[in-house]
Amino acid sequence: MDPLKLLQKLGLTEYESRAYLALAELGPSTVREIVIHSKLPRNKAYEALQRLEERNKVISIPVSPRKYKISGPETFKEDVDQMQTSVENLIRVIQSPKRKEFKDLFWVIKGQKAIMERMLQQNKKTRKELLMCNRLSVMGYKYLQTMRELRDQGVTVKMICKFDVKKVPMFNAWLGTGVEMRVFNETKFGPLIPRISIYDGSIARLTIGSPEVKSKEDYMTLWTESKAFATMLRSHFLNMWKDCKPIKEYIKKRNL
C-alpha cells in the first residue's frame, strides 16, 4: 500500500501524513525544509507538525531555527495492536446481542467483488458438503486453494457449470483440487444456469448476474441462513446433478 494512504489508514490526516513522510525522507528538518519537500502550505505544515507532536509521532528540537524529527515509529505498531483489540471487542459485541430472539435469515449483498469475498469466507467454514452452480468466469486461485483444503478435510464438493472449450485449462485446475464437476444440462433446464451455493445444507446463496445484469457492480446475491430455503436449493441442485454429465467426458471427447 502507498505509504501516504497507509498513514491515513493509521489515523493521520493527509497533511499530517505528508509532513510525516517528509521527515521520514529528509531526517531532522525545519518547517521550511518540510514545506519545500512536501509542498504543503506553510500554515498547514505548522498545524500538522503541532498535532503530530501532540500525538507523540514527532518531537521538536530546541535549536534555531527549530527542527522536527520522527519520534519512535514503533508507536504505530502500538496503535495497530490497540486497533486490533478494539476490533476484536467490537466483533464480540456484534456477535452477542442482548436481544437474541430475532435473527436475520435473508439479506442482500451487492457487487461481484463483495459477493465473491463473502463466498470465499463461507467456503472456508464449510465442514461437510459444498454444492455449487457457477459460470466460472475467472480462475480464482484463492478459491482453488480453499477447495484443496476442503477436500483434504473430507468435505464433499460438487459443482455444476457450463462447458466452454476455451475454459478447459480452468476446468482441469478445478478438477485437480478434487472437486466433482458436471456440465449444466441446457436442454432440460434452459439456457440460464442458476448461480447457487449450498453450504452444509443450512446456508445458501442465489446470485443474479450476467446476462440479466450488465454491470458487475450491480450483481446481487440473496444470502440466507434459512435451513428451509437451503434445503429447497439443495434438492434442486441434486435433481440437476442427476441429469448432468461429468465434465471429464466433454474434455475427453474433444481430446483435450
Whether 165 contacts 256, CB under 8 Å? yes
Contacts 24+ apart (CB under 8 A), 206-211: 206/233, 207/115, 209/112, 209/135, 210/135, 210/137
SS3 203: strand
Half-sphere exposure of 61 (CA within 13 A, CB side): 14
Beta bridge partners of 60: 68
Q: How far apart are CA 166 and CA 248, in angstroms?
A: 15
Q: The cell 493521520 sits on which residue?
A: 12
Global pTM reads: 0.61
Q: How far apart are CA 86 and CA 75, in angstroms?
A: 16
Q: Which three cell numbers stand for residue 199?
A: 453450504
Provide CB contacts within 8 A for 49, sequence distance 6+: 19, 31, 34, 58, 60, 68
For 54-72, what is each residue's pLDDT tens digit?
888 888 888 888 899 888 7
Q: How far apart are CA 160 and CA 245, in angstroms?
A: 9
Where the chain has pLDDT below 50, the residues are none
For 128-179, what is each residue's pLDDT tens digit?
999 999 887 666 778 889 989 999 999 999 999 999 888 888 889 989 999 9
How far is CA 68 from its chain centroid? 40
Domains of the chain: 3-75 (1.10.10.10), 106-253 (3.30.870.10)
Q: Which of 209, 228, 211 is nearest to 219 (CA)?
A: 209
Beta bridge partners of 107: 223
At 252 the pLDDT is: 83
